[in-house]
Amino acid sequence: FCLVCSGLSERVPHKGMAQFQEMMRQQLESSMDAELEKLVDTVTGADRDVCMKDFKGFKNLFHRFLQVKGPSVEWIKIKRPPEDSIQPYDKIAARGLPDSVAASLNKLVVVKLNGGLGTSMGCKGPKSLISVRNENTFLDLTVQQIEHLNKTYNTDVPLVLMNSFNTDEDTKKILQKYTHHRVKIHTFNQSRYPRIHKESLLPVAANLSMTGQNADGWYPPGHGDIYASFYNSGLLDKLIAQGKEYIFVSNIDNLGATVDLHILHHLVSQPNGKRCEFVMEVTDKTRADVKGGTLIQYEGKLRLLEIAQVPKAHVDEFKSVSKFKIFNTNNLWISLPAIKRLQEQNAMDMEIIVNPKTLDGGLNVVQLETAVGAAIKCFDNAMGINVPRSRFLPVKTTSDLLLVMSNLYSLEAGSLTMSPKREFPTTPHVKLGSSFTKVQEYLTRFESIPDMLELDHLTVSGDVTFGKNVSLKGTVIIIANHGDRIDIPAGSMLENKIVSGNLRILDH
C-alpha cells in the first residue's frame, strides 16, 4: 500500500494526505472486491460456497493489512510476563493424575498441522509422509501414539488433520491404511488465499484452477487460519456436540509433541469460571533458537512476539537468551467452545505476517498470513507452561532426521524418548552440508546410521560417505574439499577429530 502511495505523496499537500490515503485504501479494497468477484464467478456449486468463505477471511485480512500504520508493537510497552503466567512443567506434574484419566482424555481432540510439503528436504508430496524411523512416517507415528492412548485407557481420542490444498489429496489416499486402527481420523482443509502483486496489490491468478501458471497464484495462509477453517468446516460444532472440550494442536513434524496427561489434567480440573482457554508450551531458549517467538506482557495481556514484529534496532535484544529466555514450541492446548465463541463474535485478532515471495518467473508477490499462537491474547486465563526440551523435536532438515534415526532415541508406541545411555539431556548439534539436503541423497551416504550417544557436535561438508558401524564422539568435523571425496571406513571410531580433504584424521 505504501508503495502505491509513495510516488504521489510528494505532490499532495500534507494536510490532505490522510484523506488521500483513505481514498486510495478504499479504491484498492474496491478493486480487490471486483477481482475476487471475477474469480468466484469461474466456479459453481459447492466449490463456489467454499471459495466465498475463504475469500471472506481473505478480505478481512486484506482490509486490516491496508489499515496497518507502523509496527504492530511499540518496543517501550513490552514487559516481561508476570511470574504466575508461565508455570514450570514440574509444578503442573507435581499435582499428579486422578485415578481415572479416561474422563479427561475423552474431552480431548488431537489436531496436527499437516499443510506442508516435503520440498525443503527434496521430497514430493506431504511432509507427513516422509519416513523418519524404521520405515514409519510422521503420520504413522502420530496414529500409533493416539491408538496406544485409546487402547491403554479405553478412550476415544480422535485425530484431526488440517490439510492444505497441497496435501489434501495425497493424505486422504494414505488414510485408508489406518481403517482398522483404533483412531477416528477427520480432516479439514485450511483456506486457499490469492497471492497478490507486490506493486498493484491485486490477485495474480486469473481463475481458480490449480494447474499451469495459475497454480502459483494461490497459497495456504499460515496456521493461524486454523480457527476460521476449522469453524467453517462444521467439524468444530460436530466435536463439541460429542462432548469434546480441548484440542491439542502441534506441527506434525514435531516428534516431541505427544499428548501430555499432566497438562490435560491441569486444564480440565480448573473450576468452570477459571477455566484456562489457551495453553502455550514454551521451552528454554538456546543459541539455536534465537529466532523463535516468545511470550511477553503487552497492554495487560499475554502475547506472542515474533521476530518479524521486532523493530530492526531491537532484533539483537530479541535474540538475546538473557532477556527473552523462552520460545514458543507451537504445542498449544485450546478450548473448543472458546474458539466457537471468538469466531462467532469475530473477535479473533492475530497480527498479520507479510511474507514476500518471488515466483519462478521472477514476479514479486506478497502473501498475507497469520500464526496460530498469536491468538493467545484473545482467550481468557491464557498461560504458558515451560516444558522440557524433549517436547520440542522438530524435523525440518536432514540434520534433524539424522538425530531421530540414531541410537540417541528409542521408539515405543510411536513416541521417541532419549536413550538413558546418553549422559547429557541435550541433543548434539548437527550440521550436514548441501550434499545431504535431499532425503534420497542423504540416505545413500550412510550404510548405517552412526552411533551418536557420546556426540556433542558434528559438522559434515562436501562429498562424504559413512560405512557401517561408525561411532562418533565429542566434536567431529569432516570436510571434503571441492573435487575430493571422503569415505569414512566401516567400524571407524572418531572422537574429537577433524577429517580434512585428503582423509587426514587430526585430533580436535
Q: Which residues are catalytic?
A: 396
DSSP string, 14-54: HHHHHHHHHHHHHHHHHHHHHHHHHHHTT--HHHHHHHHHH
State how far Cα 338 lies from the chain centre.
Answer: 22
Sign of the C-alpha dihedral computed for residues 439, 286, 111 and 96 taken in this order: positive
The secondary structure of residue 207, as a DSSP letter, is S
Residues 71, 67: Cα–Cα separation, whole Å: 12
> Which alpha helices (DSSP H) does 273-383 contain, by range?
315-319, 336-344
Residues 135, 131: Cα–Cα separation, whole Å: 5
Task: List the end-to-end C-alpha distance of the chain, in Å, as a whole number.
Answer: 54
Cα dist. 29→11, 26, 34, 79, 90 in Å?
A: 23, 5, 9, 36, 50
> H/E/C letters for each residue in 373-393?
HHHHHHCCCCEEEECCHHHCC
432 Cβ contact list (under 8 Å, min separation 6):
397, 398, 399, 402, 442, 458, 460
Is residue 247 classed exposed, middle or buried when 0-12, 13-18 and 19+ CB atoms within 10 A define those classes?
A: buried
Whether residue 222 is annotated as binding a ligand: the answer is yes
Residues 497, 455: Cα–Cα separation, whole Å: 11
Q: Edge-to-edge strands of the sheet including 159-163?
A: 86-88, 383-386, 278-284, 326-335, 246-251, 108-114, 159-163, 185-189
Whether residue 190 is annotated as binding a ligand: the answer is yes
> Which alpha helices (DSSP H) does 108-260 contain, by range?
138-153, 168-175, 226-233, 235-241
DSSP string, 45-100: HHHHHHHHHHHHHHHHHHHHHHH--S-SS-GGGEEPPPGGGEEEHHHHHTT---S-
The three-point CA angle 331-337-338 to 5° equals 65
Question: How many other C-beta atoms lie within 10 A of the C-beta of residue 180?
Answer: 5
Helices (H) and strands (E) in the chain, counts: 14, 27
Whether residue 223 is annotated as binding a ligand: the answer is yes
- Closest to 109 measured CA to CA, from 174, 175, 191, 185: 185
Could you tell me whether strands 493-499 and 505-507 are parallel, antiparallel, or unpaired per DSSP bridges?
Answer: antiparallel
Report residue 118 as a C-alpha cell.
516435503
Whether residue 225 is annotated as binding a ligand: the answer is no
| H-helix or E-strand spanning residue 452 | strand 451-461
Residues 240, 440: Cα–Cα separation, whole Å: 43
Binding-site residues from annotation for substrate: 223
Residues belonging to the binding site for UTP are: 127, 190, 222, 253, 396
Task: State the binding site.
Answer: 127, 190, 222-223, 253, 396
